[in-house]
Chains A and B, each alone.
Chain A
Amino acid sequence: MNLIVCLKQILDPDIPGRDFKVDPISKEAVRGAANLVTNIFCENALETALQFKEKNGTGKITAICYAPESGEDTLRKALAMRADEGVQVLNDGLAHPDPLMVARTLAAAIRKIGTFDVVMVGRESGDWGVGQTGGLLAEELGVPYVGFVDHIETSGSGVKLKRQTDAGFEIVEASTPLVISITNDEHNVPRVPKTRDVMMSFRQSLTKWTLSDLGVSASESYYEVAELGIPVKESSCELVTGETLEERVSQLAEKILAVKRAL
């Protein structure tokens, strides 16, 4: 099976709150000293793909990253994790790609790659958290879409997916080709690549395409960021007091019971 995993490179979401700043003019987070990392759900997706390939013994995993030049790091890491090929779509310095633009670009790249069975994306990104790439991409490609998947296996000519729902999980059978979004689960925690593979990844070549290579141009706007700000939230916490732990816990219990009684 041909698996295509779309990877997004984002500002390190673990950056301490104190270091997090936004630029009100460009309406983006200020990078500062923070690193760019691969979005965690995208890594979950790649891990899911790798496990699927390992289990089936065959298959090809192509990683795509739509980003500026820096996206190369994300693809190198994907290769180090043992994706088979890396395709970088350079965004030509186009800031703020909206979700539809991303989906159209990825769709064009995927069509250029050729045949595919399953396209995997992360359920959402740790920066803008839009959560639409999978659905829009499916529409652009004209294939079905299943969201919040955490496991994939083959079933007949198609695939069998386990996906998380609010109440638990569902097993979905689907024909290929299709697009799925991947969510996290204890089984798809992304692997740490072997150091040898990290070093090898620098010796592999990447395919690089520009938007004009793909025949994509910025079209009508899907949406715009009108405002971006850091919410100020002040609240003071009353720490329970008391001589002994017993007294303090009593107070705590009292406060909890007060809420319960008010329900």
Chain B
Amino acid sequence: MSVVICLFAKNGFDRAGQGVAGAGRRLADELGAKLQAIIIGAADAAMIDAVKTVADGVTIAAQSELSDYQSELYLSAAAQICQSLAPKAVLLSNDTYSQEIAARLAHRLGGSAAGDVTSIALHDGNVRARRSVYGGKAEAVIELKRSPAVLWIRARAFDPAPARESVADVNQAALTLGDARTRIVERKSEAITEARLEDAQIIISGGRGLGGPEPFEDLKALAALVGAQVAASRAACDSGWCPPTWQVGQTGKKVAPQLYLAIAIHGASQHLAGMSDSKIVAAINIDKDAPIFKHCKFGIVEDYRKVVPLLKEKLAAAQA
């Protein structure tokens, strides 16, 4: 019996990968099972070395068709390797690629899947996954009835696995992958220079109350002063005031920064669902009864138009 973690070489062994490994290790220990890591794509030495220290076994599918993500091929690779490892659970991160293949992987392995998982437990030998439902208004514990349990998890919210003394063996898998049927022909990043929102330590986020795209320039200036990333609510993204990749919420990014400063964000549960893992939430809002304040450590009740310019001055002064 094993617990499999499925990683993509392209991401390296990032915080998300570490979270997946941590969750996998704890589940494996509880089951008394081995932790098997799969790396799809040609991983570099640093990643392989890092994964070797946390997993009991590492399988790498590094053939050239897998150098970049192609859903059908990655799925096929993951399914083939998993079949040979007889897993009780397969853990993935909550990136779009993992989400795209997880349910299909479960189907191919005869298992069940659950996503956006915040904690994992065992109950009578079955895997149970806790996840937020109803747009963040409720929480459910899902018991997966088939095996393996394929879970994509809010990886950054899970503690990494401690490094072990022993070093795992590394196998290279040679697979027959078949026809891709779909083919990614172009990849575009909204802003390559910016760090990923999910990895940001400080996030400054704007909402419907900003009233238009222009105020986001002020938010960017603020962000630059404290080394933050700019994000937005669904309302702001849907209005076209900022790119959809900035969206935080139930249907956007799930972020977990040290500080999440919500500016002119009312705080609908759909939004809270995407940022409730933040360590500290702060808000600038004109409405003292805005739900966002119920989740804040600190805040100010005032029109953002008055606060932001002053705040910019203060932060600039502190920097100088």
B interface residues, tally (CB under 8 Å): 93
The answer to whether the Cβ of A144 comes within 8 Å of any Cβ in the partner chain is yes
The answer to whether the Cβ of A148 comes within 8 Å of any Cβ in the partner chain is yes
Given known A-B contacts A235-B295, A238-B298, A245-B310, A166 and B133 have beta carbons under 8 A apart? no
Given known A-B contacts A185-B244, A223-B145, A229-B138, A129 and B116 have beta carbons under 8 A apart? yes
Nearest Cβ distance between residue A156 and chain B, in whole angstroms? 12
Between A138, A166, A231, the greatest number of chain B beta carbons within 10 A of the residue's beta carbon is seen for A166
Select from chain A the residue with minimum beta-carbon distance to B188: A168
Nearest Cβ distance between residue B283 and chain A, in whole angstroms? 8
A239 touches B113 (CB 8 A): no
Task: Mark each residue of chain A from 231 to 263: 1 if its CB lies under 8 Å from any CB of chain B, else 0.
Answer: 101010111100001101110110111011011
Size range of the interface on A? 35 or more
Task: Mark each residue of chain A from 151 to 191: 1 if its CB lies under 8 Å from any CB of chain B, else 0.
Answer: 00000000000001111111111110010000111100100
B258 touches A262 (CB 8 A): yes
Given known A-B contacts A100-B112, A252-B307, A253-B311, A147 and B244 have beta carbons under 8 A apart? no
Given known A-B contacts A172-B185, A255-B282, A229 and B202 have beta carbons under 8 A apart? no
The answer to whether the Cβ of A66 comes within 8 Å of any Cβ in the partner chain is no
Given known A-B contacts A135-B100, A239-B299, A167 and B146 have beta carbons under 8 A apart? no
A139 touches B107 (CB 8 A): yes
**Chain A 1-46 interface residues, beta-carbon cutoff 8 Å to B:** 11, 13, 17, 20, 22, 27, 29, 41
Task: Mark each residue of chain A from 204 to 238: 1 if its CB lies under 8 Å from any CB of chain B, else 0.
Answer: 00000000000000001111111111110101011
Q: Which stretch of B18-26, B43-51, B168-176, B232-240 is in the interface?
A: B232-240
Q: Which chain A residues border B245 with CB–CB below 8 Å? A: 164, 166-168
Q: Which chain A residues border B188 with CB–CB below 8 Å? A: 168-171
Q: Which chain B residues border A166 with CB–CB below 8 Å? A: 95-96, 196, 198, 245, 253
Given known A-B contacts A166-B196, A184-B251, A249 and B140 have beta carbons under 8 A apart? no
Q: Given B106, B135, B140, which contacts A126 in the complex, CB threshold below 8 Å? A: B135
B139 touches A223 (CB 8 A): no
When chains A and B are docked, how far (Å) is the Cα of A197 from the Cα of B141?
42
When chains A and B are docked, how far (Å) is the Cα of A220 from the Cα of B185?
39
A255 touches B298 (CB 8 A): yes
Given known A-B contacts A223-B112, A228-B133, A259-B258, A167 and B143 have beta carbons under 8 A apart? no
The answer to whether the Cβ of B287 comes within 8 Å of any Cβ in the partner chain is no
Q: Which chain A residues border B80 with CB–CB below 8 Å? A: none
Chain B contact residues, CB within 8 Å of chain A: 71-72, 95-97, 99-104, 106-108, 112-116, 123, 128, 131-135, 137-146, 181-192, 196, 198, 201-202, 226-227, 234, 237-240, 244-245, 250-251, 253, 258-259, 261, 269-270, 276, 280, 282-284, 288, 291, 293-302, 306-307, 310-311, 314-315, 318
